[in-house]
């Protein structure tokens, strides 16, 4: 899985490891990738998904080293929370290069190995409620996650006959170190919380459970679906 070093990614990776999966987790830099390697006892995998030219060689190398890949979680993500009028070209590109472009090319490379070897597999894309409803200061992020949700449907449609399932999980605001600055603004946190009927923000384990479910045989008839883990935020 991508983006496995901390916060939401770490919780998802831990959940999969608890289910018996061997977790090969990536991170953008070698230091955090080393922590992932130490945690799960698998190779150190520093990968920058924005560098799509390197993805093919990375997947081929990992496939050979691991003896094959069964599951893929596209969790790595970038957010630049700014008002739309303040977003630059560089901001937009940094968000889309990882959230959508990188996830697409990683998925297609893994799927190419599955179809080439006659294997089946399952992919879960970590999207966001921001890809379903409008949220302030999330123009690039929300657009990238909306694209990822629709990409999930298209890949599921194209690859279903090959036995490859593709789904997504769309969380609400989840308490992690990455959201601490947002949720630490009390007025903003109170406003966001007022939009969640369940009356609380998400915890990483809420998302990890949804991802694990979609990857298992219990979800064998589910593909092209986005499971929204939002406490009811998107109901209205």
Please identify every residue annotated as catalytic.
Answer: 141
Structural contact between residues 138 and 79, judged by C-beta atoms closer than 8 angstroms: yes
Alpha carbon 85 to its chain centroid, in Å, reads 27
Rg of the chain in Å (alpha carbons): 17
At 212, list the tokens: 């694990």
DSSP character string of 119-170: --EEEEEE--GGGTS--TT-HHHHHHHHHHHHHHHHHHHHHGGGTEEEEEEE
How many Å apart are CA 149 and CA 170, to the nearest integer? 9
Picking from 219, 209, 232, the residue whose alpha carbon sits closest to that of residue 156 is 219
């Amino acid at each position: 899985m991508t983006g496995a070093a901390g916060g939401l990614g770490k919780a998802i990776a831990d959940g999969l490891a608890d289910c018996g999966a061997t977790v090969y987790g990536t991170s953008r830099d070698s230091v955090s990738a080393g922590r992932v390697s130490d945690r799960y006892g698998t190779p150190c995998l520093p990968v920058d998904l924005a560098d799509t030219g390197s993805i093919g060689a990375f997947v081929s190398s990992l496939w050979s080293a691991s003896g094959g890949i069964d599951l893929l979680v596209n969790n790595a993500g970038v957010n630049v929370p700014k008002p739309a009028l303040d977003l630059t070209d560089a901001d937009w590109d940094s968000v889309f290069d990882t959230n959508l472009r990188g996830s697409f090319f990683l998925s297609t490379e893994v799927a190419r190995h599955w179809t080439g070897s006659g294997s089946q597999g399952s992919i879960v894309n970590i999207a966001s409620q921001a890809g379903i409803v409008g949220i302030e200061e999330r123009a690039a992020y929300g657009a990238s996650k909306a694209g990822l949700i629709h990409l999930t449907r298209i890949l599921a449609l194209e690859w279903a006959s090959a036995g490859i399932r593709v789904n997504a999980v769309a969380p609400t605001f989840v308490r992690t170190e990455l959201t601490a600055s947002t949720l630490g603004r009390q007025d903003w946190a109170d406003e966001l919380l007022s939009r969640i009927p369940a009356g609380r923000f998400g915890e990483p384990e809420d998302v990890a459970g949804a991802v694990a479910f979609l990857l298992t045989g219990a979800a064998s008839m589910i593909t092209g679906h986005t499971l929204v883990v939002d406490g009811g935020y998107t109901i209205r």
